[in-house]
Structure 1
Amino acid sequence: MATYLHQSIRSITRNICLAGILLIYTLPLSAQDLDVPYVPTPNEVVEKMLDLAEVQSDDYVIDLGSGDGRIVIAAAKRGASGHGIDLDPKRIAEARKNATMAEVDDKVMFKQQDIFETDFREASVITMYLLPSVNKKLRPRLLDELRPGTRLVSHSFDMGDWEPDQEVTLSSESSNRTHSIFYWVVPAKVDGSWQWSAENTTFNMNIDQKYQEIIVSLKDENGTSYDIQDKKLEGERITFQALNGNERFVYSGRISGDNIEGTMQHHSTNDKTVSDWSATRQ
């Protein structure tokens, strides 16, 4: 009898533990996050993140998972405005208190929200200290909803196969370890076929794009192919050079939807000219 009772108690205990584990894994991500220990970004890392993004007084900074508010507060001390997003009401209260103590509460605010539901389209700079899985889940929204040229800075964790424009490491005395910082500029969507006319000739360009990396091919109406060099996409700006024998065309433009407006330099053996460049996506 005693043995049977002992086995029953063990079985009931095992089932209760299993039910608890299943409950945790079926909770929404935001609800689980409250149980994750809060780890603040060291102040020297905060300053390096803001340096990388070149935060200035005309920037609007949004910190996703803002904790005690230190990143947004540090940005405000540089003259920027912004707000922090956090799900934990204790962190929100702490951040608001810290902003008041730093005398920047006229420039910043803190919202208790789920980062997957918040609207961050007004940001010129996004800062993050989130897990890799969260970064990857946010990545499509960051690429689709943010304006081209918006700067992103992440402490410790990358964005999967979206390679950073810069990556730096920083040794912190306060944490006694080395920290990685990743920086991206949101690229304009430039993939597709483009066309323009110059010097009585029609040009057709095709661009294949993966994040900020582009492959460019260019032909004119006569079927002549051009060798493409020094191509670069950064935010809403695109630059490249097209070579054909002794001729070099240097293109630089700003992308706006299905249009590119900029300049074209034409370098030949005996002459150099510059003219307006206007391309349209077909």
Structure 2
Amino acid sequence: MEGGEGPAPDLPARSEAGGSQRTSWGLLLTGVAGGALVALYAVATPFLTPALRKVCLPFVPATAKQIENVVKMLRRRRGSLVDVGSGDGRVVIAAAKEGFTAVGYELNPWLVWYSRYRAWREGVRGSTSFYISDLWKVSFSQYSNVVVFGVPQMMPQLEKKLELELQDDARVIACRFPFPHWTPAHVTGHGVDTVWAYDVSAFRSREKRP
């Protein structure tokens, strides 16, 4: 009787392995499809976004140097991070590799699905989250670090939104374009790779001065 009961425990293991394999194949196929759609979206966006959004925010992938500069501005920082308009997820994934719990908000569902695939492929799926959402409908009050790849038309309105929502210990990192009224605590990079870091406590203390 003991010999007949031996093989039974192997069945769940095989079932779990099969399920894991199917999940991996599903993520891989999502990544392949997502990569093709990201390329198509990058071409089509400049023509489609003016009709779909009040403020045109085209998807332009971050350069390796921009990511490096963002990571530099995050050194010695703590807390959670959010990328406002996360695109293909590069900033979120890089932040997760630095130990942050990182979140991305992006309006385009294809980019969100592709970002999830990339996070899985890079081994940081457990510390990243990506959501399909309009940035103007999300509160960022729970985040200590905010990364923004914006355009000049949106920066004044976003500046007011973040002023109202963020805690005093938060840091805002702007890429490509600075905020119009804040004074950066740190600046690094040149040209399109320039990154500005703003500490909320610093500009709030200046506002309180008589």
Contact 2:66–2:193 (8 Å) recurs in 1: yes
**CA distance in 2 between partners of 1:90 and 1:214 (Å):** 41
2: CA distance, partners of 1:55 / 1:133: 31
Aligned with 1:48 (options 69, 73, 90): 69
Cα distance in structure 1, aligned partners of 2:170 and 2:140? 11
> Deviation string for 1:171-223 (max 9, x for gaps)?
xxxxxx652111101127xxxxxxxxxxxxxxxxxxxxx74426857xxxxxx
* Pairing 1:29–2:54 present: yes
Residue 3 of structure 1 is matched in structure 2 by none
Question: Computing the radius of gyration over CA atoms, which structure comes out larger, 1 or 2?
Answer: 1
Aligned-residue CA RMSD (Å):
2.4
- Count of matched residue pairs: 162
Which residue pairs with 1:105 in the alignment?
Answer: 125
- Residues 1-49 of structure 1: CA deviation (Å, up to 9, x unaligned): xxxxxxxxxxxxxxxxxxxxxxx8785426x54xx3x211112221221
Q: Secondary structure at the match of 1:183?
A: strand
2:152 to 120, 132, 135: 132
Higher relative contact order (CA 8 A, sep 6+): 2
- Aligned-partner SS, 2:158: helix
* TM-score under structure 1 length normalisation: 0.52
Matched, 1:186 2:205: no
| Cα distance in 1 for residues equivalent to 2:50 and 2:114 | 29
Structure with greater helix share of residues: 2
Distance 1:97 1:187, change over 3 A: same
User: So what's the TM-score if we normalise by structure 2?
Assistant: 0.69
* Identity score, percent: 24
Unaligned runs of 5+ in 1: 1-23, 171-176, 189-209, 218-282
* C-alpha distance 214-134 of structure 1, shift in aligned 2 (>3 A): closer
Q: Larger strand proportion, structure 1 or 2? A: 1
Counterpart in 2 of 1:267?
A: none
Match of 2:206 among 197, 204, 213: 213
1:68 aligns to what SS in structure 2? coil
Shift, 1:82, TM fit: 1.6
Retained in 2: the 8 A contact 1:61–1:123? yes
Question: 8 Å contact 1:55–1:75 — kept in the other structure?
Answer: no
